[in-house]
Amino acid sequence: MLAALLAAACVLLVALPFLKEPSPASDSLHELDEAERRRLERLEARDRALAALKELEFDHRTGTISDEDYRTLVGPLRREVAAALQALEADAGSPADGTAGEGRPSGGRTS
Amino acid sequence: MSELGRAALLVTLGLSVYALVAGVAAARLGRRRLALSAQNALLAAFVSTAVASAVLLAALLRHDFSFTYVARTTSEELPTAYTISAFWGGQEGSLLLWLLVLTGFGAAAVRLNRSWARDLVVWVVPVFAAVTVFFAFLVVAVASPFATQPAPPDGAGMTPSLQNPYMLAHPPLLYLGYVGLTVPFAFALGALLSGRTDERWLVATRRWTLVAWTALGVGQLLGAHWAYVEVGWGGYYAWDPVENAALMPWLAATAFLHSVMIQEKRGMLRIWNVLLVFLAFSLSLFGTFLTRSGVVNSIHAFTQSSIGPWFLAFIAVTVAVSVAVLLRRLPLLRSRARLESPLSREAAFLYNNLLLLALCLAILWGVVYPLLSEAVRGEAVVLGRSYYDFFLRAFGLPLLLLMGIGPLIAWRRASLASLATTFRWPTAFALATGAVLLALGAGSSLPGLVAYTFSAFVAATIVLEFARGTAARKALGATSWPGAFFSLIARNRRRYGGYVVHAAIVLLAVGIAGSSAFDSVGEATLRPGETLEVGRYALTYRSLDERQTANATELRALLSVRRGGRDLGTLEAGKNAYTVEQQVSNEVGIRSDRLTGEDLFVIAEQIDPDGTVSFRVFVKPLVNLIWLAGLVFVLGSLIALWPDAREQRRLAERATSLGLTTSR
Amino acid sequence: MARKASPARLVIALSVAAVLAVFLLYTSIAGGGNASVSPSELRGRSDPVQLAGLVVGPVTGDAHGDGLRFRLRDIGEKSGVTVPVRYTGSVPDLFKVGRHIVVDGRLRNGVFVAEPGSMITKCPSKYSPAQKAGTG
C-alpha cells in the first residue's frame, strides 16, 4: 500500500547516515573550539572594519560625507582595520591570509 | 485515497518528532551521524507533506465530494483555477499549505547552510522540528483535511467575491511571508542555544528574511487591491484585525531588516535583534491565531473553532522558551560598541526601529483592546478607524521623513554643519513643493500636505544618491552614463536596492495621502437621464442592462462620464446575483486616469425595480500610485536579493579558513 | 573609556518617552472606543454603541430613502429580545435575514438609530469576507 511505501522510504532516508557509515573513524560533530571561535570573530571584525572603510571612501567620493567629516572619521577606521588585521596575524601565528589582500587601507580598491 | 493523506500526515508528525528528539540529542552529544539523520528527517517530512498535499489537490481536481473539505469549499462548475485555490480556502487546507511551506523551507534552509555553519545548523534543526511538530499535530489531530463523508451530489461552492485572481495569489504569498519568518527565528534561537556569538545566523538568514518580508508586503497589497476592486466600498484598508494580523509582523520585520544592518556594520544591538526576530515570529503566529479562532470580531472571522486554544498555547510556549534562552545567553550577547551620538546613522536606525515598533504595538493594542476590555470590564470596547489613523500619522509621518535622513547621515557621528550641507537641496525642494501644493489647495488636509512634503524630501534624497553615485562611478572610469548607473547598482546591490524600496514607500505614501486625504465623494439617486457631479466629473445615468451568464444574473447601470466639458466615455457599475451560491455581489465601475493616477470609483448601491439607481461616487486622486508602489517594491527587493559573487566568495573563504567546509 | 552616561542613551530614553506621550495624548483626547453590545444588553443605554446581532425579518423600507427597518437578535439565540433598527446608507451585499451584522449608532425612543453607512456583515466561514459599507 502506498502509505507503507512512503513510510518505508522515509525511514530509509532517516537511517541513511548510519547505513552509509556503519563504523566511522569519528562520529563527533565538528564543533568550533575556542581558538577557531575566536578566529571567526576576528575574521568578522576584520571584514566589518574593511567594509566600513570602503563605505566611508565611497560616501566621501559621492559627496555624501564632507571633507571634514571624512578626515575625522577615516583615522579611527584605519586604526580599527589595522588592529583587526594585527589580531588575526597574532592569532594565526603566521602571515595574514591572502584574502586580506583586498584590504590595504591606503587608497585600496574602493567601490 | 484519504487514508493515504492521513497516513502521510502521520508520517510527517512522526518524522518531525524524531527530528526534534534526535536533533537535540545530536546537538548536546555532538554526534555527527545523528545530526545528519535529523536533517534528513526534516527533508523526509517535506516529502510526506508533499504527498499529503498531492492527495488533497487530486481530490479537489476530481471533485471528490466524499472529502468533507472538498464538498465544503468547491462545487462542480467552479473554474479549475479557483478549485485549486480552494486548497488554501478553508481552515484545514490552509494549515496543510502552511505545513508544506514550513517543511519545505526548513529542509532548504538547513541544506543550504549545513556545510559552512554546521555547528549552528545542528541546533536549528530541533527548533524547526518543534514548530513542525505543532502544525503537523494540528492537521493530524485537530483539523484534518482528510475527513470523509457520504458524498453529496454537489459541493457548497466558493463565495463569488473570492473567485478572483487576486485571491489566488494573496494567501500563498502571505504564507510565504509568515512561514518565511520562521527561518530567521529558528536560526536566531539555534544560535543562542548553541552558545555562539558570531554573526553567521544573520548572514545565513538575510535573504530568507528579505524574501519573507517582500512576500508579506506584496501579499498585503494584493489583499488591499482585492478589497478595492472586489469588495468595493471605496477603500482598500479597513484596519480589520485580519489585515492588521499581516501588518504587524511586517512592521516588526521591517524594523529587524534595518537594525540588522547596524549589527552587521558595528556589531551593536545583538540583543535587540534577537528580540525583534522573536517578536516578528510571535506576531505572525498571533496573527494566524486571530484569523482562525474567531476570538476578535472581524470580517474574516471564524465561528469559535477548536484551533484557537492550541495556537494560544503554542505562542505562549514559544515566547516563554525564547525569552528563557535569551536570558541564559545574555552575557554572550553584550557588545562592546557604543552609540556615540544621537546624530548618526545608528541613531537614525534606532529612531526608525522605535517608530516602527510603536506603530506595531499601537496596532496590537487596538486589536486586543476589545478582548481585554471584555475580560476586565465585561464589555467589549472596539477602537475605530480614527484610532488607527491617528497613530499611522503620528508615527508614520516621522518615519517617512527619517527614510530620507537615515541613508545620508554618517555612521558614528555626524556634525550639524555636514548635515546642513547634505540636506540643503532636498529641504529646499521639499519646502518649494509644499508651497506650490499649498497654493494648489492641498492645505485642506494638513497631514496630507505634510505627507506630500516629506515625500518630496525623501524623493529628492534618493535621486541625489543615485546621481552622485553614478557621477562617482563615471569619474572612476565607467564608459558611459548608463554603464556607470548600472555598475553602481550592481556593485552595491543592497544599498541601491534599498533605495528603490524606499522609492516604493514614497509612492505608497503619496498614493495613500492623495486617495484618503484629498478624495471627494458624492451620492445621488438617479433616474435615466439624470446627472451627478463629483469633483470635476459629471456622470449621467443612461440605462440599465440585464445579462445572463453561466452562474449569475448581471445587472449593469451604464453611465457616461464627462470631465471639464470633455467626453471621457462610459462606465458600468452594478450587481451580480449568483444562482448557486444565492448571493449578491457588488460590481463597481472604476475609471483610472493614466496620466494622473486618479480613479473615478462608482458604486451602484441600490437598484430599484423601476430602474432608479442610487449611486455613490468617489474621486480618488493618485490611488494608482499604491499599486505601482507594489511593482517598484518587488524590483527593489530583487535588486537587494541578487546574489553577489564577490560576497559569496569572501564568505566561502572565511569558512574554508576555519575548516568548516571540509567534511570531518 | 567611553563616558558611562553618553548623551545618546539620554536621547533614546527621551524618544521612548515621547512615543509614550503620544499614546497618552491620544487617549486623553479621544477616550476609548465604542462598546460593543448585543441586543439583550442594549436596554436602557442611550450612549453611542456598536450593536452586534442576527438580522430578524421582516425587512422593510429603503436605506436610501426613509430608512431600512429590521430587527436584531442576540447571536446564537433562537428567540428572545429583539431590537428594532433603522438604518440609512450603504447596505452590504451579504445583508439578509439570518446574517450576523454589526452596526454603530444609539438607542433613541426604543429604536436603534444607526450611523449612516456603518453596517458591517460577518460571515461564519473562513475567507468568506463580509462587505463593508460606506466608511472608505
**Per-residue confidence (pLDDT) for residue A92, from 0 to 100:** 65
Query: Going by C-beta distance under 8 Å and a sequence separation of 6 or more, which residues neighbour residue B147?
Result: B2, B67, B68, B69, B92
d(CA B434, CA B456): 8
A32-38, long-range: CB within 8 Å, 24+ apart, which pairs?
A32/B119, A32/B196, A32/B658, A32/B660, A35/A91, A36/B658, A36/B659, A37/B196, A37/B198, A38/A91
Q: What distance in Å separates residue B297's CA from the closest CA in chain C? A: 8
CB contact under 8 A, B197 and A63: no
Reply yes or no on whether the pLDDT at C128 is more than 60. Answer: no
Contacts of C121 in chain B (CB under 8 A): 299
SS3 of residue C94 by DSSP? coil
Reply yes or no on whether the pLDDT at A100 is more than 50. Answer: no
Q: Report the chain B residue with the minimal C-alpha distance to residue C22.
A: B394
Say whether residue B584 is in contact with chain C using an 8 A CB cutoff: yes
Strand pairing partners for B562?
B538, B567
Contacts of A55 in chain B (CB under 8 A): 265, 411
User: Looking at the partner chain, which of A30, A45, A63 has a beta carbon nearest the beta carbon of B664?
Assistant: A30
Average pLDDT, chain B: 89
Reply yes or no on whether the pLDDT at B540 is more than 90. Answer: yes
Q: Provide the pLDDT confidence category of residue C9 given band limits of 50, 70 and 90.
A: confident
User: Looking at the partner chain, which of A13, A21, A61 has a beta carbon nearest the beta carbon of B44?
Assistant: A13
C-alpha torsion angle, residues B168, B170, B171, B176 (rounded to 10):
120
CB contact under 8 A, B11 and A7: yes
- A66 versus B606: the higher-pLDDT residue is B606
User: Looking at the partner chain, which of B303, B369, B605 has a beta carbon nearest the beta carbon of C90?
Assistant: B605
Looking at chain C, which subunits does it touch, using at least 3 CB pairs closer than 8 Å as the criterion?
B
Q: What is the mean pLDDT of residues C53-59?
A: 86
Cell numbers at residue B340, please?
A: 556615540
Q: Report the chain A residue with the minimal C-alpha distance to residue B119.
A: A31
Q: What is the mean pLDDT of residues C50-55?
A: 88
Residue corresponding to grid cell 537615515: B406
Query: Which among B327, B216, B228, B223 is positioned nearest to B278, based on CA atoms?
Result: B327
d(CA B329, CA A75): 35
Backbone angles phi, psi at C50, to 5 degrees: -105, 120
Reply yes or no on whether the pLDDT at B465 is more than 80. Answer: yes
Kind and range of the H or E run holding B168 = helix B165-180
Share of chain A above pLDDT 70, in %: 80
| Lowest-pLDDT choice from A24-38, B153-167, B589-603 | A24-38
Backbone angles phi, psi at A7, to 5 degrees: -60, -45
Q: For an interface test with B, which of A5, A21, A40 has the most B Cβ atoms less than 10 Å from its Cβ?
A: A40
N- to C-terminal Cα separation, chain C: 57
d(CA A61, CA B472): 6
Asked if residues B250 and B213 have their Cβ atoms less than 8 Å apart, the reply is: yes
Range with top average pLDDT, B27-36, B293-302, B622-631, C69-78: B622-631
| Lowest-pLDDT choice from B35-44, B372-381, B631-640 | B372-381
Say whether residue B376 is in contact with chain C using an 8 A CB cutoff: no
User: Looking at the partner chain, which of C7, C34, C121 has a beta carbon nearest the beta carbon of B384?
Assistant: C34
CB contact under 8 A, B422 and A64: yes
**Per-residue confidence (pLDDT) for residue B319, from 0 to 100:** 94
Query: Which among B449, B493, B451, B487 is positioned nearest to B470, based on CA atoms?
Result: B487
Query: Going by C-beta distance under 8 Å and a sequence separation of 6 or more, which residues neighbour residue C87?
Result: C63, C67, C68, C69, C70, C103, C114, C116, C119
Reply yes or no on whether the pLDDT at A108 is more than 50. Answer: no
Query: Which among A64, A70, A67, A57 is positioned nearest to A110, based on CA atoms?
Result: A57
Q: Provide the pLDDT confidence category of residue B102 given band limits of 50, 70 and 90.
A: very high
CB contact under 8 A, B660 and A73: no
Reply yes or no on whether the pLDDT at C73 is more than 70. Answer: yes
Tens-digit pLDDT profile for residues B281-308:
999 999 888 877 766 654 334 344 678 8
d(CA B571, CA B569): 7
CB contact under 8 A, B410 and A59: yes
Looking at chain B, which subunits does it touch, using at least 3 CB pairs closer than 8 Å as the criterion?
A, C
Tens-digit pLDDT profile for residues B497-532:
999 999 999 999 999 999 999 999 999 999 999 999
- B248 versus B414: the higher-pLDDT residue is B248
Reply yes or no on whether the pLDDT at B664 is more than 60. Answer: no
Say whether residue B480 is in contact with chain C using an 8 A CB cutoff: no
**Per-residue confidence (pLDDT) for residue B577, from 0 to 100:** 87
C-alpha torsion angle, residues B622, B623, B627, B633 (rounded to 10):
60
Angle (nearest 5°) at CA B471 between B466 and B474 = 125
Touching B: C residues 11-50, CB under 8 Å:
11-12, 15-16, 19, 22-23, 26, 30, 32-37, 50
Q: Report the chain C residue with the minimal C-alpha distance to residue B525.
A: C64
d(CA B397, CA B451): 6
Range with top average pLDDT, B251-255, B526-530, B604-608, B645-649: B251-255
**Per-residue confidence (pLDDT) for residue B45, from 0 to 100:** 96
Q: Provide the pLDDT confidence category of residue C134 given band limits of 50, 70 and 90.
A: very low
Share of chain B above pLDDT 70, in %: 97
Say whether residue B469 is in contact with chain A using an 8 A CB cutoff: yes
**Per-residue confidence (pLDDT) for residue B640, from 0 to 100:** 93
Q: What is the mean pLDDT of residues C4-15?
A: 70
Say whether residue A89 is in contact with chain B using an 8 A CB cutoff: no
Residue corresponding to grid cell 505627507: B451
Cell numbers at residue B182, please?
A: 520562521
**Number of Cβ atoms within 10 Å of the Cβ of B136:** 29
**Per-residue confidence (pLDDT) for residue B296, from 0 to 100:** 62
Reply yes or no on whether the pLDDT at C132 is more than 80. Answer: no
Between chain A and chain B, the number of residue pairs with CB atoms below 8 A apart is 158
Q: Provide the pLDDT confidence category of residue B409 given band limits of 50, 70 and 90.
A: confident
Query: Alpha carbon of C83 to those of B169, C52, C70, C93, C110: distances in Å?
Result: 42, 11, 8, 22, 8
**Per-residue confidence (pLDDT) for residue B661, from 0 to 100:** 60
Q: Provide the pLDDT confidence category of residue B1 given band limits of 50, 70 and 90.
A: confident
Q: What is the DSSP letter of B142?
A: I
Contacts of B90 in chain C (CB under 8 A): 125-127
d(CA C64, CA C26): 35
Range with top average pLDDT, A94-98, C70-74, C93-97: C70-74
Q: For an interface test with B, which of C87, C128, C135 has the most B Cβ atoms less than 10 Å from its Cβ?
A: C128
Strand pairing partners for C56?
C71
d(CA B183, CA B197): 18
Say whether residue A25 is in contact with chain B using an 8 A CB cutoff: no
CB contact under 8 A, B657 and A43: yes
Touching A: B residues 191-210, CB under 8 Å:
196-200
- C77 versus C1: the higher-pLDDT residue is C77
Say whether residue B408 is in contact with chain A using an 8 A CB cutoff: yes
Q: Provide the pLDDT confidence category of residue B637 given band limits of 50, 70 and 90.
A: very high
Tens-digit pLDDT profile for residues B213-223:
999 999 999 99
**Per-residue confidence (pLDDT) for residue A64, from 0 to 100:** 79
User: Looking at the partner chain, which of C2, C94, C126 has a beta carbon nearest the beta carbon of B302?
Assistant: C126
